[in-house]
Structure formats: structure tokens, C-alpha cells
Chains A and B, each alone.
Chain A
Amino acid sequence: MYGDLGNKLVQHAKRTQNLAHLPPYQTELVRAVTREVRDLDKDVRSMLEPFQGSFDPNADPAVSCTLLVDHMAMRRNKRCLLAYHRTRTDKLEELVWNGTDIPDLAGQQRAPGAPNGDNGSSHLSPQEEDYMRQYSDLLAAYKGQWTDIDLTGSLEPPRDLFIDVRVLKDAGEIQTEYGAINLTKNSQFYVRQGDVERLIAQGYLQKLS
């Protein structure tokens, strides 16, 4: 029945809400739902054709009922499509605020579900990647207004200014107030927390307590 595919899409969205990561974009399903809307629109057009724009619902209740059903199905599909995408963009915005980039996302998602062979794609549609990129730019511009405060920093007050960290992935050389440190895998450092917070969030470093 019309609307069943849209319902599937919303069930995907429901699952997405409870997941930590973003599942693959349902390209096929989205395409099928939009196709359904187009078909319905065509039906409505051909149904109204003989009336030449002077359709009187009271004179022909059967036709007006069919039209109403088609119209409601289109509206339903629209709502399902919008809600699905909105759920995903909400998630993307959250990721951006947490400091995730698109390359990060691709890397993260390949690791757990290794053998499904989607060679490191980020599970986003091209439009979503674009959205994420532009939203990151917006956020960066917004944050740029206050140089002495990090809006995406941790809300928890630090116990100590300096912490021990272990390097999980090679991250190259970083500059700190006390000179440059070369972060090579498996090495340990005693550094200022503020200098490495972002690297911890990105998974390059691990905080040792």
C-alpha cells in the first residue's frame, strides 16, 4: 500500500535515534518513496484532466475520495522523507559539535563492521557530506568570534592542568607552550590537558589516570 515504504524509512530513523553512530543512508528507499510521490502526482493529474479545472467534489464523491487518498499518501510520504532527513542532520550537527570530521567518520565506521566492503565510505549521502562540511564552516566561523574561549571544549572542569597521555595513533608533531612534541605511536607524555584535548576527542591519544 502507499505509504508503507515511507513507514520503513521512519523506522530506520527511529533506530538511528538510539544509535551512537550514523547508519548508512537509505538511498534506494528514499528514491522509491520519491518515485511513489511522483506516480501519485501523475495519477492525480490524469484524473483531473477531463474536468478542465472545474472539478466539483460534491458532484462526484468517488473521484474526490480517490483524490483525497492520493493527496494524503503524498503528504504522508513527504512527512516521512523530511523526518528521516531531519533525524540524520540532527545527528550530523551533534557530530560536528563533538569535533568529528567526515574523514574521521569514514575511518570509524570501517573499523567495527570490517568485512562489509564499503571501502571506507562515511555512510553519508553526497548531500549530507556537503551539509556537514558547510555546518562545520559555520560553526568554525561562530567560534572564531571568541578566541579566548573554546565553545566545543569539555564542560568538565579539569582536576589537573597536566595529564599523562599515551599515543594510540601517529599524530605527527604538535606545538605547545613548552616546545614541540613528536607524537609517535605507543609513546607516553606528560602534557598540558588544554593542548591535547582535541586529539583525545579524535582518538589519537588516550588519557591515563
Chain B
Amino acid sequence: MSYYDIDAILTDAEKIPCTFELDVPDLGYLDNNPTAPLKSGTQLQLPLWLAEMLALQSAGDEGKSFVSIELPPPLSDEVVQALKADPRAVALRDQSAHFYNLATRMLDLFEEKELVEVLRKTFAVRAAEIALHARKGAAGSEEKASNLGVGGAGEEFLRGLDEWERKLFRKAHDGAKAGKEWMDGVKKH
């Protein structure tokens, strides 16, 4: 992950649920209320780039952090349960356009062995599905006709890919296409 990576920067803008652990007079604007002080216990949605540092930094002598954070909605129990049931049936993009990136960043902060396992399995199952669709797409028009039966469901699945999966799909698709073109070229000359 590079400093200049656009996707990493956009991932950092994802909102994380936070709870403030102390009163701060000047930060009312974070809660859309610039004139009032920010009270301890206020619940807020803060972007990851801010939430992470506030959660890691400790304040005062007790060593308490400024805010406590929770897992964001895309990684909630509901989604995880759905992923456990069938990874292919979840539109990850509707959860977050940078689903895996977000998950990786959050797992730096949380110790969640089970979540890691679910995500690993999710990616493996979905990657196979993506490869399948990519090959179909690249195979050419004559074979497309025979796929009409699954076309609708396939489109639905492809629309739900997160940014990383989309890249994977494009690579697999371009690779298959380039391979086919090369084979055709060999035959011709």
C-alpha cells in the first residue's frame, strides 16, 4: 500500500463508529454543532484517518484513549453471517466499495480471528467465481449465446464486486482475451 495509492486514500475516508471518551470544548463541529462543546460519550461517525489515530493515542495520566471505536457496518455481524452462508450471494460493493481494504485496515486494530477466517474463505470462493465469469466474458460471442441462462445472475454478481475484485476481474478478463488473440495470431501466420 503506497502513500499515493488512490484506493488506500479512499479507504481511509470510510466512516467508523466512534464514542468520545472525554469532553473537548473546541471539537463540537465534529458533531455538526460548532457552538457546543463535544461531550464525553457522544457517538460519532468519523473517517478512518481520524478515528484510528484518536483511538491509538492515549490522553491524560490514566492512559485512556480519546475515543473508542467499533467495527463499521460493512463488517457487522449481519454481513458476516451472510458471508458465512454464501459468499457469492452478498453484494460487497453495497457494503463498501473498498470492502477488503477496509477489512484489512480494521483488522490491524481489532483482534478477530473468526472474521479473518470468514473473509479469507469469502475471497477464495468469490475469486473462483470471478475467474469463471472473466473467462466467459473473454471467450467471444459464439459462446455467449449458451450462457444466456445464467446471464442475469452473473451480472448481478459482477455488479457487487468491490474495487479489488473488479481489478481481479479485469486482469483475468484481459489475460484470457490476450491469450486468445495470440493463439489466433499463431494459427494465421
Give the interface of A toward B (CB within 8 A): 1, 3, 7, 10-11, 13-14, 17, 47, 57-58, 61-66, 68-69, 72-73, 75-76, 79-80, 82-83, 86-87
Contact = CB atoms under 8 A, between A and B. Distances in A.
B25 interface: yes
B86 interface: no
B50 A83 contact: no
B46 to A, nearest CB: 9
24 contacts: A1-B29, A1-B30, A7-B13, A10-B9, A14-B7, A14-B10, A58-B60, A61-B22, A61-B59, A62-B23, A63-B26, A65-B22, A65-B24, A65-B59, A66-B24, A68-B53, A69-B27, A73-B50, A75-B49, A79-B3, A79-B9, A82-B4, A83-B5, A87-B6
A82 B27 CA distance: 27
Contacts of B29: 1
A3 B50 contact: yes
B60 A61 contact: yes
Classify chain B: how many residues form its interface, as a range: 20 to 34
Contacts of B7: 14
Contact of B24 (A10, A11, A62, A75): A62
Nearest to B66: A65
Nearest to B22: A61
Contacts of B57: 68
B50 A57 contact: no
Nearest to B63: A58
A44 B148 CA distance: 62
A58 B61 contact: yes
Interface string B2-18: 01111101101100000
B137 interface: no
Contact of A62 (B10, B12, B25, B53): B25
A87 B103 CA distance: 25
Nearest to A86: B4
**Consensus secondary structure, chain A interface:** helix
A44 to B, nearest CB: 11
Contacts, number: 74
Contacts of B10: 7, 10-11, 14
Contacts of B6: 10, 13-14, 17, 83, 87
Nearest to B163: A14
Contacts of B72: none
Given A62-B24, A65-B59, A66-B27, A80 B54 contact: no
B47 interface: yes
A3 B14 CA distance: 12
B9 A69 contact: no
A57 B30 contact: no
Nearest to B37: A62
